[in-house]
Amino acid sequence: MNGLFPDGYREVAVLGVRVELPSNQPLVLLEEIDSNRRLPVWIGAPEASVIAGYLEGLQTPRPLTHDLLLATIAALGSRVERVRIVSVKDTVFHARLDLAGGQAIDARASDAIAMALASDAPVFVAAQVLEEAGFLPAPEEAPEGAEEQVEEFRQFLDDIDPSDFG
């Protein structure tokens, strides 16, 4: 690994929590930083609630489990340096918390993502996982400049006279 960017990994942003229909299964949606490739990670409802709370910056009156674990890691003289999603097996994502002292802790992907959000640590996904489970979103509805072209065509239609086709 070289600094914050481990070899064979791509940095991702946490876009948000969604609910997949019709199953009503929550997922957290990640997006590769240098492209628009996305990775849906299916998670449980409690984990979705925690991740959504961190994304919204909600403050709780008492520490959540993830906050407690971060405080414990800090009390032991370390911190979460980064989170890595290392593999996917049978639709289950496996992750690691990389601590500043070089230790790596096995974690569920949902817990690792929550820890990253709570500690402002970057999230990385193995390139192989992105290849296997990632997707590119559908192109935007209209390409840039299409509105101007449509307006020009409307103007043409407004100004045209049937005799022009004579």
- 109 CB neighbour count, 10 Å cutoff: 28
Q: What is the pLDDT of residue 2?
A: 44
Predicted local confidence at residue 5, as pLDDT? 67
Contacts of 50 (CB under 8 A, 6+ apart): 64, 66, 114
Close Cβ partners of 112 (under 8 Å, ≥ 6 residues apart):
83, 84, 85, 95, 96, 97, 123
**Residues of the chain predicted below pLDDT 50:** 1-3
Give the pLDDT confidence score for residue 3 in this predicted structure: 46
Residue-range domain boundaries for the chain? 9-139
Q: Among the CATH numbers 3.30.70.100, 3.40.50.300, 3.10.690.10, 3.40.190.10, which is that of 9-139?
A: 3.10.690.10
pTM of the model: 0.80
